Structure 1
Amino acid sequence: MFRHSIRALVLGLCTLTAATPAAAAMALPAPAPQYRTTPAQAPELRSQTLSDLATAMKAEAFAYACLDLFATEADRQAHPAVGKLFRGTAQTELDGYLRQAAALAGTVGTNGANLRQAISGETYEHQVMYRRFAEQARADGDLKAAELFTELARDEGRHRDAYRTALSAVTTGRGAVPVPPKADRVAVPAGLPKVTAARTKANLQTAMHGEALAHAKYMLFAAHARQTGHAALARLFEGTATVELREHFAGEAALAGLVGTTKANLRKAIEQAADLAPGLAGRATSVGDTAVARYFRNLAAGEAGHAAAFRQALNQLG
């Protein structure tokens, strides 16, 4: 799995009719611009710029996953206008600006390189991160978290093995790409955290960021595989991406108490819009990475619009 993410969107204003006649119009995100993410699009960038893009990608993938859950809860609480706002914004983040950052950073490579990147991430999650998190949760008395982390460690090992088999098939032309895994989808209702230790809560945050980014990257890898005529590999990446989001991230989110009331979720979304470190555009400009500086300026403007749309929705809920 991975821990690098981005978030930014340019919000357009359009009218959304809510469930009742008294409901006011809400700002919705503009349709996401589409970007290809081929290696040829990535220029040589300074190490600090690449690190800043990684930070941005990390925040964006996590925001997408959160907003997706918030949308489901808004629908459940009979706030369809807010649900539509959450869902549209989330899709814009994933399909537009996360893809743009990935293109700038050169995240997507050849199918073989993408598989090696995935194998490296899955190996770390399987052998190191989730095993350590399980031991710590057990020591801290958070047994449900320990059980979940242990289960996820096993899952990541299976993902790694499937990717290894796929890499052999892709590079040698012998054998077959494995069939994609099936996600055991987890519902995430609003509720309080089901863990008590501060260390477990922090580990759940780290794990959720990793799962969200894995989902986003695997979807990018799947698109590249499909563009290059490897449909079976695309299906493997897509199936694994679904497991990462709908089963792993969701299971962790349920334990972490990530989802609250719709009002609470809107407040969280507003806070997330300010998460990115300031000065990213200036830093990129200072080292001559002008295309990335332009991206970060657009990102900052998009985040301001993003926060404004959620504030408007919160005010309308009263």
Structure 2
Amino acid sequence: MFRHSIRALLVALSTLTAASQAATAMALAVPAEPHTVAPAAQSPRQQTVSDLTTTMKGEAFAHASYGLFGTQADREAHPAVGKLFRATAQTELNEHLKQAAALAGTVGTNEANLRQAINGETYEHQVMYRGFADQARMDGDDEAAKLFTEIAADEGRHRDAYRMALTAVTTGRGSVPAPPKADMVPVPAGMPKVKAARTMANLDTAMHGEALAHAKYMLFAERARQTGNQALARLFEGTAGVELHEHFAGEAALAGHVRMTKDNLRTAIAGEHNEATNQYPGFAKRATAVGDTAAARYFRDTAAAAAKHAAAFQQALDQLH
């Protein structure tokens, strides 16, 4: 259910860069801002960081997906299922993803967070979405090409806003731009509206990237607010809203990501079962082998939580039959 995307590699590289910048600042005796997400007691190995990044991407995707699944359950007059999806979505975002981010050292200073965001938005604006749009046109998926082109333009505006914010944060000149407002895109249950397998794969990659961007920007906003920079917090939160409610939702609508509630429950069960029995135990084994005991414990605990989620979703499905 949760796969790597090109953006995951960029996120991992940006994370490592931010960590290096923070270490340099300490060496120069520059006072560091207090961390919103506490760093791990020991630095995890590179493979563990990669596994934590994969985890964050999967948990962010689950959060975004379960939100849509909950809305669909409400449409079908299954309020208990909608409540279950929304509660699980919040656990994925506010517990599992946040803990993985702490272990990976994803959240840094406001400056480091802005640079990380600029790198991601620049890549999506200049490379990823333009390439996806070109491929969709070649494959005859004109609606997807249009959406990818529009999102590319949005990401360019996000990059420019973050650049202005970075100047304000680092030099004291200028001001942090006002946050963007998301156009809420409804995602009804339905089949995919694209025909090419390549377009579907690109939509999947894009959705995972947008879900992760939303989650990270919310963490960056929390950090900015803790340091007293309310304007920067609002910018991160506003951009996060666009990534989730406009970009992710628009892509989900084209991909036919939301189906009827019984199918959505089956999708959730399969994903949680894979995490509980395959993905997270494998990550825990690798982390243990290289001495990353804190990460190994986190992966084991998250595997157990995923098993409970799968069981809860299965019970909900059984009650609908």
CA RMSD of aligned residues (A): 1.5
TM score, norm. by length of structure 1? 0.88
1:307 aligns with 2:307: no
Q: What's the secondary structure of 2:122's corresponding residue?
A: helix
Residues 89-119 of structure 1 show CA distances to partners (whole Å, capped at 9, x for unaligned) of 0011101111000000000000000000000
Aligned residues of 2:40 and 2:103 also touching (Cα < 8 A): yes
1:286 equivalent to 2:289? Answer yes
Partner of residue 200, structure 1? 199
Quote how far apart the aligned CAs of 1:205 are.
Answer: 0.0
- The question of whether the paired residues in 2 share the 8 Å contact of 1:59 and 1:275 is answered with no
Which structure exhibits the higher relative contact order, with contacts defined as CA atoms closer than 8 Å and separated by 6 or more residues? Answer: 1
Whether contact under 8 Å (2:36, 2:226) holds in the other structure is no
Residue 155 of structure 2 corresponds to residue 156 of structure 1: yes
Deviation at residue 57 of structure 1 after TM alignment: 0.7
- How far apart are residue 3 of structure 1 and its match? 3.2
Which residue does 2:28 correspond to in 1? none
Seq. identity, %: 72
Contact map agreement 2:110 2:224 (CA 8 A) in 1: yes
Q: Distance in 2 between matches of 1:255 and 1:274?
A: 26
Q: Structure 1: which 4+ aligned runs deviate by more than 2 Å?
A: 1-5, 40-43, 274-278
In structure 2, what is the equivalent of residue 11 of structure 1?
Answer: none
The answer to whether the 8 A contact 1:42-1:106 is kept is: no
Query: Is residue 63–residue 90 contact of structure 1 (8 Å, CA) maintained in 2?
Result: yes
Equivalent position SS for 2:259? coil
SS in 2 for 1:194: coil
Q: Which 5+ residue runs of structure 2 have no aligned equivalent?
A: 1-5, 12-34
Correspondence for 1:20: none
Rounded to whole Å, the distance in 2 between the matches of 1:77 and 1:183 is 26
- Contact 1:49/1:283 (8 A) holds in 2: yes
Unpaired runs of 5+ residues, structure 1, are 6-34
Q: Deviations over 1:56-110 (max 9, x none)?
A: 1111000000000000000011000000000000011101111000000000000
Aligned residues: 288
Contact 1:49 1:289 in 2 (8 A): yes
Aligned to 1:8: none
2:8 alignment partner, SS class: coil
TM-score by length of 2: 0.87
Q: Partner residue of 2:215? A: 216
Deviations 1:223-273 (A, max 9, x none): 000000000000000000000000000000000000000000000101111
Who is 1:97 aligned against?
Answer: 96
- Check conservation: 2:288, 2:296, Cα contact below 8 A: yes
Q: 1-side partners of 2:204 and 2:265: how far apart?
A: 19
